[in-house]
Amino acid sequence: MISGNDFHSDYERTGHYSQQKRKNVQELGNFEIELSDGKTVTGFELLANGPDNLSRREKCEKDLALYLKTYHTETFYSEFAPFHHRACDTIQASIETGGKYVYAMQRGGGKTAIAVGGAEWSTSYGISEFTILISATQELADEQIETIKSDWMNNELLLLDFPEIAVPFRHLEDEARKAKGQSFRGKKTRVRWDQSKIIYPLIDVPYSQGGEAVIVSVGIKGAIRGRRYKKANGETVRPRLAIVDDPQTAGSATSESQCRERLRILRNDVCGLGGRLRSCSVVVPGTVIADNDMVHQLLNDEDSDWYREKSRMLETFPENLKIWEDYWAIYKQCQKTKQYEPAHEFYRANRDEMDRGAKVNWVEGYDREKAISAIEMAMILFMGDADAFWAECQNEPRKNVTESDICVSDKIGEKMNGVKRGLVPHASQHLVAQIDVQGNSLWWVVAAFSEGFKGDGVDYGIFPEQPTRYATLSGLKNTLKKKCPGMGDEASLLHGLLDLFEYLATRQFAGETGEVHRLAKIGVDEGYKTSIVHTAIRTSNYANIIVPTKGMGIKAKSYPLNHESKDTKPGEIIGDYWRLVPNNHGHKSLQVDTNEWKSFFTNRLATPRGDTGAFCLPQEPVGHNECLADHLKSEKAVLMHDATHDRWKQEWEMKTIGKDNHWWDGFVGCCVLASTLGVKLGGIPQVKKKGRKVIRRAIYD
């Protein structure tokens, strides 16, 4: 029988044994590592011997590019291009001096790998005591920290030259729970190995440089502000380096508000991480996704204190693009079989002619399994998706934003038709007017159209008339209330509408060759004071030619107005992205998809004078149409995509809130009125639906 004393003695002995065994396991000196040559060494041997090649380690401390090429040959196996060396030099200078650097490289150019390698370099040598890795989302940021973890766990050259970092990290065996008890010669290493945070081990060896360096990862909309870490000696450190890698998503890049918010976070929260007394270096390796997105704005902000750089895949294109079209026809056939040798053989046979004039910025930058040269690789990407190529490979995106000033401002002279303002151009068939209703004024335009959607602005103005050529809604001298003293807002608007209806409907517009024209239709916006607008129409002597119009900003995620899924009610007329629908006021309202028609009108403005479908402006002396020009360039359109229905659409918005766009809206409305009168850009196939003829065609050329 075992006595109580014997039991406790055995328990104490076994407990002491387990505790000692645990200490032995947690002690780095006892940790065994098998090298690639089959040799097994202990952590103590590696730490005691120090860097395997101290000279190599010291040279790389002074040269980030050399560090990357030396310790990460699997990633940086190709020769660096000049832009790689510039990026490494600038990142190194930014880290060492507290600068700010944004750069964009071609797809596959290594921008992220260089930046993350820079973070690893700076912490390994103790240059940055606290580094923060920021990406568009927390998940993407964690992937960057995972890359650094993988390097320390698997890179043997780092193990041999930086044993004071690699041995403790390998000892953890990728298990965060082991970090708490890890020690070297009886002293805790204070190492951490979490999903979003690692702390470099504190090892008491003479060659250690990066002890207690911190790296954390966070999404750009996460908790960035107020980051700090208290070291073993009691010193509190704040971030010295922020790597902000691809801080935007495809969705945020096309959203003006999201771009603005992310730029605010970058400029305020990220750049302020170092505190008031010490600056934080910021490096942004970015991808340009859309015109005027966050990265595009950073790269083009000449007034900022950022060092900016972008590189292109193709510095110049091949001169003979026709032969590349022949190549692409062969390549597309090869895509069906996934056998690309016929295309490559064509390239080999004609390489001198196909390469003529082309210059790439990175001769080694191509996939050997997909192309024979960097030029062939670039042209495959270009011909496969030109928009993606310009954005991701050239960092010069085609404008996702279509601006309404495409043919005005400095080019407005090219859009004037030579016909004096107020006269109707020869051969015009339809004359229409559109009124934009504002609280204290009415902004009107008149336009003439003929077959092929040839359009001309005839006249435009403000009611009441203003004493100056340039006027803004907020600064009008004459208003409806001043014209109708003693009347309230609604009464003065009603009288103003009736007076303007009378003026426009009875006006005889002289033709360029002496003929007389009258308005066939007058559209008036019913979006403001709807009941007053309808009352004015109903009581007007010219109600038969007046139609209330209602703009509807149909988005990509919504069905078009003329979509077959929309029910057609009795009395409705469906046209090109418009519907005439009965209303509660005894007549019909013209519903308009303004996004589609603003894009259509912009295309008309962009069409050269004399070509089919061109819209021109009336002839005026230089400087007389500055106000009109400002209206015509007041809006922009962002190309949006609805993944559910795989539908793309330009959605229009004001460039600057508060700017005037009333004549712009008016000419867009005139185009819609012309469409209701049967003016067509091309032939219109008709389909039957529910016994009615429904127009089905795109309004674009």
Residues 6+ apart with CB under 8 A from 289: 248, 250, 253, 254, 295, 391, 392, 397
Alpha-carbon gap, residue 395 to 105, rounded angstroms: 7
Q: Which amino acid is at 106?
A: Q
**Residue with tokens 């660096």, as numbered in its chain:** 80
Q: What is the pLDDT of residue 355?
A: 93
Strands 442-450 and 430-437: antiparallel
**What value does the mean pLDDT take over residues 535-541?**
95
The answer to whether residue 301 sits within a structural domain is yes
pLDDT over 80 at 460, yes or no: yes
Q: What is the pLDDT of residue 317?
A: 87
Q: Both 347 and 475 in a single domain?
A: no
Are 123 and 210 in contact by the 8 Å Cβ rule? The answer is yes
Provide the 8-state DSSP code for 176: G
The answer to whether residue 407 sits within a structural domain is no
Residue 286: CATH number of its domain: 3.40.50.300
Residue that is last in its domain, among 349, 365, 398: 398
The answer to whether residue 258 sits within a structural domain is yes
Alpha-carbon gap, residue 675 to 547, rounded angstroms: 13
pLDDT over 60 at 261, yes or no: yes
Q: What is the pLDDT of residue 497?
A: 97
Query: H or E element: which one contains 467?
Result: none
Number of domains forming the structure of the chain: 3
* CB crowding 454-466: b at 16 or more within 10 Å, else e: bbbbbbbbbbbeb
Q: Both 381 and 440 in a single domain?
A: no
pTM: 0.56
Residue 666: CATH number of its domain: 3.30.420
**What value does the mean pLDDT take over residues 371-381?**
93
Alpha-carbon gap, residue 66 to 257, rounded angstroms: 41
Q: Both 392 and 462 in a single domain?
A: no
Q: At what angle do helices 111-124 and 82-97 cross, to 10 degrees?
A: 40
The answer to whether residue 69 sits within a structural domain is yes
- Provide the 3-class DSSP secondary structure of residue 188: strand
Please provide the DSSP assignment of 312-370 as one string: -SEEE--S-HHHHHHHHHHHHHHHHHT--HHHHHHHHHTHHHHHTT-EES-TT-S-TTT
**What value does the mean pLDDT take over residues 407-427?**
78
Alpha-carbon gap, residue 343 to 336, rounded angstroms: 13
Q: Both 177 and 69 in a single domain?
A: yes
Q: Both 345 and 472 in a single domain?
A: no
Q: Both 150 and 272 in a single domain?
A: yes
pLDDT in tens, 293-334: 888 888 888 777 888 888 889 988 888 878 888 898 899 888
Please provide the DSSP assignment of 522-591 as one string: EEEE-SSSHHHHHHHHHHSTTGGGEEEEEEE---TTSPPTT-TTSPPPTT-EE-SSEEEEE-TTSSEEEE
Q: What is the pLDDT of residue 566?
A: 59
Are 163 and 204 in contact by the 8 Å Cβ rule? The answer is no
Q: Both 385 and 302 in a single domain?
A: no
Q: What is the pLDDT of residue 25?
A: 55
**Residue with tokens 């002491």, as numbered in its chain:** 16
Residue that is last in its domain, among 284, 309, 334: 309
pLDDT in tens, 198-236: 999 998 889 988 788 999 999 998 898 888 888 888 888
Report the number of secondary-structure helices (H) and strands (E) in the chain.
Answer: 24, 33
Instruction: Return the C-alpha torsion angle 487, 488, 489, 495, nearest 10.
Output: -30
Q: Both 617 and 548 in a single domain?
A: yes
pLDDT over 70 at 667, yes or no: yes
Q: Rounded to 5 degrees, what are φ and ψ at 291? A: -60, 130
Q: What is the pLDDT of residue 567?
A: 64
Per the prediction, the chain carries an average pLDDT of 85
Q: Both 546 and 648 in a single domain?
A: yes
Q: Which of 457, 453, 451, 454 is nearest to 424 (CA)?
A: 457
Q: What is the pLDDT of residue 125?
A: 93
Q: Which of 28, 268, 343, 326 is nearest to 159 (CA)?
A: 28
Query: Rounded to a whole number, what is the largest CA-CA distance in the chain?
Result: 131
Q: What is the pLDDT of residue 335?
A: 86
The answer to whether residue 633 sits within a structural domain is yes
**What value does the mean pLDDT take over residues 244-269?**
88
The answer to whether residue 19 sits within a structural domain is no
The answer to whether residue 173 sits within a structural domain is yes
Residue that is last in its domain, among 279, 309, 339: 309
The answer to whether residue 13 sits within a structural domain is no
**What value does the mean pLDDT take over residues 245-270?**
88
Q: Both 151 and 32 in a single domain?
A: yes
* Token output for 408: 């005005």
Q: How many angstroms separate the Cα of 434 from the Cα of each of 194, 280, 473, 519, 653?
A: 64, 56, 17, 11, 20
Q: Which domain holds residue 454?
A: 415-695
- Provide the 3-class DSSP secondary structure of residue 603: helix
pLDDT in tens, 32-87: 888 888 888 888 888 888 999 999 999 999 999 999 999 999 999 888 999 999 99
Any idea which of 145-159, 319-333, 389-403 has the lowest mean pLDDT?
389-403
Q: Both 36 and 155 in a single domain?
A: yes
**What value does the mean pLDDT take over residues 553-577?**
77
Q: Both 199 and 339 in a single domain?
A: no
